[in-house]
Amino acid sequence: MVALEQKLQLAAQQKKLPKALIVVHFAGLSCDMQSIHKLTSTYNIVLIEDAAHALGGDYVGRKIGCCEYSDLTVLSFHPVKSITTAEGGAVLTNNSAYFTKLQLFAKHGVTRDPALMQGESDGPWYYQQVELGYNYRLSDLHAALGITQLQKLDQFVAKRRMLAARYKQQLADLPLTLPCEESYQDSAWHLYMVELNQHDRLAVYKHLHELGIGVNVHYIPIHLQPYYQALGFKAGDFPVAEHFYHHALTLPLFPSMTEEQQAQVISSLRQVLLERRA
């Protein structure tokens, strides 16, 4: 939080304040939105929550996405997320002006609302394109799937939380840095990521895959991608993100995961780490 405050103070001095700030609830854990909102409101910055990982999670006793401390919240309904519509997502807001603008963006910028039109309507069939919008609507089939999935959200998240608690308990004695929750957080546990403290990540990754454990790595820092390096970003610009990337390993976690499957992951990880002591 101190680093963000310093960045905003510097940007204000240079008259380069951003119009919006996007806060990412990584792996399902909510950022400290009260503190961030207090900072951004000082500078009139629009605050957006990227909750693609966090649907079903909680922050200070309220569901992530309620927008109490933000202007908008973005959700993902990709198949690996808390719930799915096969593809697509949603934007949530309590701001009526943003809501109207979002509706226009989602439907080619077309409206049938006379209050948004220029001039008079020709009749009940009449519409106008008042924005350069897109086609961002879910189909009826995707929406129907999403509604049925939404009814199962609580049980999906409850299962993820149970699996995460078991990982925390049974991996505590290994040379790993485990994810943790602050008192204001109750994660949706989209991902369960550990950091290797002593071991070569590539060797551990390969060995686990040989044992049939589908671990993964999330994520390669964006500023290391060629597109952003062409814009002037370079290695070393964000050392915390780079350090995390070089040590991170994502363990399998999904609502249908059985206790036996998780036990296999834990025993395999224990075997690999103890065999490969630094």
Catalytic residues: 81
Say if CB 17 and CB 8 are below 8 A apart. yes
Question: What is d(CA 204, CA 211) in angstroms, rounded to the nearest whole number?
Answer: 11
DSSP letter for each residue of the chain = -HHHHHHHHHHHHTT---SEEEEE-GGGPPP-HHHHHHHHHHTT-EEEEE-TTTTT-EETTEETTS-TT-SEEEEE--TTSSS--SS-EEEE-S-HHHHHHHHHHHBTTEE--GGGSSS---STT--EE-S---B-PPPHHHHHHHHHHHTTHHHHHHHHHHHHHHHHHHSTTSSEEPP---TTEE---S-EEEEESSS-HHHHHHHHHHTT---B-----GGGSHHHHTTT--TTSSHHHHHHHHHEEEEP--TT--HHHHHHHHHHHHHHHHHT--
Say if CB 142 and CB 85 are below 8 A apart. yes
